Structure 1
Amino acid sequence: MKGSTSRSVVRRCVERARSVLTVIGILLSVTCAPANAASGVDVAQLVNQRYDSRVERCAVDRPIWMCSGLVVRPLAGGASQQLAALTPEETQTQSAELAFVRGDLRTSSLGATAGFILADGFTASGWQKPYDVRCVYPVDVTPPGITGAHGCDLLGGTTPVPPDWSSCATHGVTDATSWLAHFVANGQTPLRQCSLSAQVATQFYAAMQAHGQVADSLAQMPMSLLIPAWNPATPATIPIQAFYFDVSTPGQLVQAQRYQMQYFTATNEWVPILRVMFAPGQGASFGYDETDQLDSGFRVVARLKARFADTSPSCNGGTRAAYFCAGVIIRMVAVRDMPIWNPRPDYITRDGVSTSYMRADARVTQLATGRGGTGLIFKEFGAPVEYPLTMKCAFPANAATASRPDSCMRPGQNRYCDALGVTTYAAWGASQCPFSVTPAQFNLSVTVRRDHAGAVDAWNEQTIKPWTRDIPAKIPLEAFVAVGDAFVDARTIQLGYMNATGRFLPIVRVNATAAPDQMFIYVPADQVGGQP
């Protein structure tokens, strides 16, 4: 018996030593790393690891929130919501209310469908942005502004010992069992609960145990933490590790992007947005998608500039036409035709949707007019997509395809340009024939413009076969276009697409007469999520 007890003691000592060494390693790594060093994928992994952690304390005797679980700031939403704003109650108590969630709790939400996640206590200290937790309430509650002890004393009469502002000790409550008995005696009313210590590891864990034993309706909500209120004018001091939005609630990506933009404006740092999804009986999972990020537009523009500069005559070793890897295909649309991702009935009738092909040697100086300066940019046709598009024919200038029965051949025509021997812009002007989309012929439709000594039409034209209606998420779109000052209409299109698909596509400023490095410009403030 004594030998068994000794082995048990040794085992606990070894496990504790391992825990200490692990935490020391974490501290060294986060202290030496800048706050924004981790990629979005890395941040998602760290957040999931903390959510899935099951430790009862951190290091030797530090409370759980220092290394495990998630400290979350749920935000109610709305276009005017400021991420660092304090409520009137918080201003009065000088405590900010946060939520605590972990995978072993029955919590089924983060308290709101969008908000931000703080770094754990150790990491925040490494960023030189430490925070302290004044107290923890096992049941979600918003303390009234008049609550004593900075919001930690709902029942009154507590004499706190800062930095521990908790109130339960005054009522003889020190563990989960006594907290539950006290809560029942006070009618199981959230505003009549005492707060446990967030400084003492055993009491914070007791708060989690108590949360796990309350009624389901209360356990579905997170635990409440109170920390010293930050200065709303200096959001850079808040150790935000990620923003989040609940994918099950429409419209929340825009809100998360607004918070991301606000933080960038204050700090010049892009903090990642994470998707969160709760599965019944399985808790939450957090994921990172590069296309959710407001700064993803910069990467889109970099790709557009690279494709515009690529004058390759063909792709894939000459087996594919140039539009499979080079150039930029744009379709101008009018916001009055929303949803603009659906082909209009007349396009379906004539079996064609008109586009323009921009490339450094294509001499396109203007995009199609008469549609208000808004449009769509398609991905290169060689990109891996769910719904590939089909190019039907190409023209070196505006070919008035609306009057062509199949959007390629004019009435009475039945041959492509190669069959007619058309190899110059002047010859094409006389015949108005369509170029086929073989690698050689498609490239010729571009180079006849390039090589023509005289003036050419402001834009060229290519016909794409209409795609199926009502599949916006499947169409290989890359961005939306704003020409001139068409930002309001472009945002209407962007928001409509986000509402229909839950996905973000950037608005890109396109100026066909600008220098190549200025032809495609991305500005975060142009986006719906970049608006105040």
Structure 2
Amino acid sequence: MFKTIGFLLFALIAGCSHLDRHSENEIGAFNNASTQSGITVAAQLNTLYGRKFANCNNSNSQPAFLCSGVTLRVTVKDPANQYKVWDPSPTSIKSGGVSFSYLRADTNFGRLAWGYGNGFILYPIFEAPADKIDLDYLCSYPMDGWTWHRSQTSVCVPHRDYPVQSQLCHNAGVTTAEQWLAVWNISGGNPNLRQCGFDITDDRNALAAPAFYQSLRAKSLLGATGFNGHNETIIKTWTPGRPNTFPIMAFFYIYGGTDTKPLADAQYNQRDFYNSTNPKIVVPIIRLTPANSPTGVATFTFVAADQVVTQ
């Protein structure tokens, strides 16, 4: 729904006035093919990472995740081989949501969830090829929400120890990054569980984009603390077993160090995805080099030697 609304709204606005922050050539320029070359994907990711947008198309009903930033999920192959890394786990099917992180130049982090070293990256909805499904973004925690401790059967809900403070932010009286930070900084307790999550669902309309942007600002306000931990964005569980229409942009691995497992895992996932699709789809492996400070720059690089499946 975001994709349709965004297109119509942008067409209307563009016909009436000049948008100096987001040009027609800048947003939606990537979605002209179902399979992109690895070099092109890396360039797109660097562009998306650098877009520090408050929203898309200057519209408060279009959150910035639709057209900017990098939404990624760390993965580990299921030992029982019951589900693919790009599909929801049984735990996520039960809870109704899947955890991702959102990386952008103004919301850097130097460490992925659980210290893992590989995973996959989603297309932003406005940049996705036309044959990919739209995923539903539900809520955004500026830091790891420890959501597995909150509930096993639902997402974006409060923790029992903080029934008021840890609910959806607007219900807790929190609408700005500064208000969120004040709750995080309360002495004692567990700030990850105490924090509220910003509601970014489609039906919030003109409140969705400001809520998401405040979640990004809140992480930035934490400085080194924010950089040393990842944020958490919950996306509604999707139907598994449909790889051809799933909006996966790239597999990635963290570059640097001597551990070869992250690349090997990414290579396994690339081959597994290729073999699972019909017609076949090659999803490139991208090297992610994280920023080394809150104000540093992360980079995305395509290296031909990393690929085990080629077009």
Assess same fold via TM > 0.5.
yes
| Residue in 1 that maps onto 2:273 | 263
1:150 is paired with a residue of what secondary structure?
coil
Distance 2:197 2:261 in 1: 35
| Code of the aligned partner of 1:253 | L
Contact 1:116 1:244 in 2 (8 A): yes
Contact 2:92 2:237 in 1 (8 A): yes
Structure 1 residue 42, shift from structure 2 partner: 0.6
Q: CA offsets, 1:83-137, max 9 Å, x none?
A: 1343454222110111111122240134331100000120237343211210100
Q: Does 1:235 align with 2:223?
A: no
Contact 1:277 1:284 in 2 (8 A): yes
Change (3 A) 1:154 1:103: same
Q: 2:43 aligns with which of 42, 45, 49?
A: 45
| Residue in 1 that maps onto 2:94 | 92
Contact 1:155 1:193 in 2 (8 A): no
Q: CA offsets, 1:349-378, max 9 Å, x none?
A: xxxxxxxxxxxxxxxxxxxxxxxxxxxxxx
Contact 1:93 1:145 in 2 (8 A): no
| Residue in 1 that maps onto 2:185 | 184
Distance 2:232 2:217 in 1: 14
TM-score, length basis structure 2 = 0.78
2:271 is paired with a residue of what secondary structure?
helix
Contact 1:78 1:255 in 2 (8 A): no
Contact 1:92 1:146 in 2 (8 A): no
Looking at both structures, which has the greater relative contact order when contacts are Cα pairs under 8 Å and sequence separation is at least 6? 2
| Residue in 2 that maps onto 1:132 | 136
Change (3 A) 1:174 1:191: same
| Residue in 2 that maps onto 1:292 | 306
| Residue in 1 that maps onto 2:68 | 68
Contact 2:34 2:129 in 1 (8 A): no
| Code of the aligned partner of 2:302 | Y
Moved more, 109-118 or 203-212: 109-118
Distance 2:48 2:150 in 1: 34
Q: 1:280 aligns with which of 288, 292, 300?
A: 292
**Contiguous gaps of at least 5 residues in structure 2:** 1-15, 202-207
Q: CA offsets, 1:317-363, max 9 Å, x none?
A: xxxxxxxxxxxxxxxxxxxxxxxxxxxxxxxxxxxxxxxxxxxxxxx
Structure 1 residue 58, shift from structure 2 partner: 1.1
Change (3 A) 1:147 1:173: same
Structure 1 residue 144, shift from structure 2 partner: 2.5
Q: CA offsets, 1:367-405, max 9 Å, x none?
A: xxxxxxxxxxxxxxxxxxxxxxxxxxxxxxxxxxxxxxx
| Residue in 2 that maps onto 1:491 | none
1:151 is paired with a residue of what secondary structure?
coil
Contact 2:150 2:159 in 1 (8 A): no
Contact 1:101 1:110 in 2 (8 A): no
Distance 2:95 2:69 in 1: 25
| Code of the aligned partner of 2:261 | G
Q: 1:205 aligns with which of 195, 202, 213?
A: 213
Distance 2:244 2:133 in 1: 9
**Contiguous gaps of at least 5 residues in structure 1:** 1-13, 159-165, 299-532
Change (3 A) 1:148 1:76: closer
Q: CA offsets, 1:151-185, max 9 Å, x none?
A: 10124668xxxxxxx71111100010111122233
Contact 1:153 1:167 in 2 (8 A): yes
Q: Who wins on radius of gyration, i.e. which is larger?
A: 1
TM-score, length basis structure 1 = 0.47
Q: CA offsets, 1:13-65, max 9 Å, x none?
A: x9962345426x643x445x2220x2110100000111122222111221111
What is the number of residues matched between the two proteins? 273
Contact 2:266 2:285 in 1 (8 A): yes
| Code of the aligned partner of 1:283 | V
| Code of the aligned partner of 1:63 | P
Change (3 A) 1:107 1:16: farther
Change (3 A) 1:44 1:113: same
Distance 1:215 1:241 in 2: 29
Q: Does 1:151 align with 2:152?
A: no
Distance 1:250 1:16 in 2: 49
Distance 1:106 1:91 in 2: 29
| Residue in 1 that maps onto 2:121 | 117
| Residue in 2 that maps onto 1:214 | 222
Structure 1 residue 79, shift from structure 2 partner: 6.7
Identical residues among aligned pairs (%): 25
| Residue in 2 that maps onto 1:175 | 176
Distance 1:260 1:242 in 2: 9
Distance 2:253 2:303 in 1: 12
| Residue in 2 that maps onto 1:408 | none
| Code of the aligned partner of 1:182 | V
| Residue in 1 that maps onto 2:13 | none
Change (3 A) 1:138 1:237: same
Distance 1:15 1:189 in 2: 44
Q: Does 1:252 align with 2:262?
A: yes
Contact 1:101 1:107 in 2 (8 A): yes
Structure 1 residue 278, shift from structure 2 partner: 2.5
Structure 1 residue 241, shift from structure 2 partner: 0.5
Distance 1:75 1:170 in 2: 32
| Code of the aligned partner of 1:51 | Y
Distance 1:213 1:188 in 2: 18
